């Protein structure tokens, strides 16, 4: 078993705005890296079920959940890898007694990844690390990356993108590295593209990258910062579950969260009618046929 996503790569803000979860809601959320499930938990639903058919993903979510429960904020962000920390294995020893047998078995066999910080452990995060370490330096220096991240306005971002960032090497290497073949084999899984009808995935992603770099303010784009640097510079504007101001509420609401390792269709068949009011189904429809 291996973790595909150690983080959630979908912005929680439109998710929260669309669902408008309240205290009366019973919510189902695809587990994945757990981040967006925790973001929904901040809205204090009546119940929140995180479901994933992948036992490795559920083990990750359970470890994050118990780390929130057992640790204070500074040790929590250090343990997961959002901040440097030297004693992650010792903290795991504090968390381990509260884990299920399956999660204990998984993490006991993956202590090397615990030492590195679990949010850096997934296949998708490793894909970005390869990009950051081996591809990006062929195009832009660390100084150029920092100049991009320091842009103070959209006008400045657009000018920097057109004059500096979007050079020929960026365009060529981007289309190779984020093409269907390498993305499928290094970042995701070839089977994930079974129902993708796009011929040139890299062209679509290049246009989306242009949009992100020129139409979205960079200063609070923690996804972009992580992809380019591997770090979360300012946790006050990081993913909601990592923000210090949200940590007490996360602790207080963990009793509303239930973890289920199962296929979604099978789990829904086991529930009474109308027992779920809202769903965060992530991108599972990418992997299904139209039928």
Classify residue 232: in a domain, yes or no: yes
Do residues 188 and 160 both lie within one domain? yes
- 233 with 192, same domain? yes
Note the pTM of the prediction, 2 decimals. 0.92
The pLDDT confidence band at residue 192, using thresholds 50, 70 and 90, is low
pLDDT tens profile 65-92: 999 999 999 999 999 999 999 999 999 9
**One domain for residues 227 and 257:** no
Last residue of a domain, one of 213, 237, 261: 237
Whether 145 and 283 map to the same domain: the answer is no
Count how many domains the chain has.
2
| Same domain, yes or no: 205 and 131 | yes
**Residue 220 structural domain:** 124-237
Structure confidence at residue 178 (pLDDT): 84
Quick check: 244 and 148 in contact, CB under 8 A?
A: no
- Model pLDDT, residue 32: 94
Q: Are residues 33 and 93 in the same domain?
A: yes
Question: Are residue 134 and residue 277 in the same domain, yes or no?
Answer: no
Domain assignment of residue 3, yes or no: no
Side-chain half-sphere CA neighbours of 11 within 13 A: 12
Q: Which two tokens stand for residue 8?
A: 């959630």
pLDDT at 283: 84
Same domain, 249 and 229: no
Q: Is residue 158 part of a domain?
A: yes
Residue 249 lies in a domain: yes
- Of the candidates 93, 29, 41, which has an alpha carbon nearest to the alpha carbon of residue 65? 41
- Is residue 255 included in any domain, yes or no? yes
CA atoms within 13 A on the CB side of 183: 17
Measured between alpha carbons, how far is 40 from 53 in angstroms, rounded to an integer?
A: 20
Choosing from 221, 237, 253, the residue where a domain stops is 237
Q: Give yes or no: residues 50 and 91 share one domain.
A: yes
Specify the 3-state DSSP secondary structure of 49: strand
* Residue with the two structure tokens 């757990």: 34
Q: Does the pLDDT at position 250 exceed 50?
A: yes
- Max CA pair span of the chain: 58
- pLDDT tens figures, 170-185: 999 998 888 765 666 4
Read off the pLDDT of residues 105-125 as tens digits, 9 standing for 90 and up: 999 999 988 999 999 999 999
Q: Is the domain of 101 the same as that of 26? A: yes
Query: Which residue, 237, 254, 274, sits at the end of a domain?
Result: 237
Task: Tell me, yes or no, whether 32 and 96 share the same domain.
Answer: yes
268 in a domain, yes or no? yes
Angle at 268 between CA 21 and CA 42, to 5 degrees: 20
């Amino acid at each position: 078993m291996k973790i595909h996503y150690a983080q959630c790569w979908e912005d929680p803000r439109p998710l929260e705005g669309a669902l408008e979860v309240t205290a009366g809601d019973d919510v189902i959320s695809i587990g994945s890296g757990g981040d967006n499930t925790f973001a929904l938990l901040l809205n204090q639903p009546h119940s929140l079920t995180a479901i994933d058919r992948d036992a490795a993903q559920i083990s990750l979510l359970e470890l994050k959940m118990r780390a929130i429960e057992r640790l204070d904020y500074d040790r929590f962000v250090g343990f997961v890898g959002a901040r440097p920390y030297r004693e992650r294995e010792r903290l795991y020893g504090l968390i381990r007694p509260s884990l299920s047998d399956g999660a204990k078995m998984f993490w006991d066999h993956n202590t090397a990844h615990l030492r590195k910080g679990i949010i850096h452990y997934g296949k998708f995060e490793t894909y970005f690390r390869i990009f950051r370490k081996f591809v990006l330096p062929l195009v832009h220096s660390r100084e150029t990356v920092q100049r991009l991240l320091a842009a103070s306005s959209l006008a400045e971002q657009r000018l920097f993108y057109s004059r500096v960032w979007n050079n020929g090497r960026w365009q060529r290497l981007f289309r190779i590295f984020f093409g269907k073949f390498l993305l499928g084999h290094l970042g995701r899984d070839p089977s994930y593209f079974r129902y993708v009808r796009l011929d040139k995935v890299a062209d679509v992603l290049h246009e989306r990258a242009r949009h992100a770099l020129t139409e979205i303010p960079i200063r609070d784009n923690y996804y972009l910062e992580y992809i380019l640097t591997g770090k979360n510079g300012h946790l006050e504007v990081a993913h909601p579950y990592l923000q210090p101001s949200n940590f007490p509420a996360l602790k207080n609401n963990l009793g509303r969260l239930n973890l289920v390792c199962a296929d979604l269709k099978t789990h829904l068949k086991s529930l009474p009618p109308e027992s779920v009011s809202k769903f965060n189904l992530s991108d599972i429809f990418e992997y299904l046929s139209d039928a």
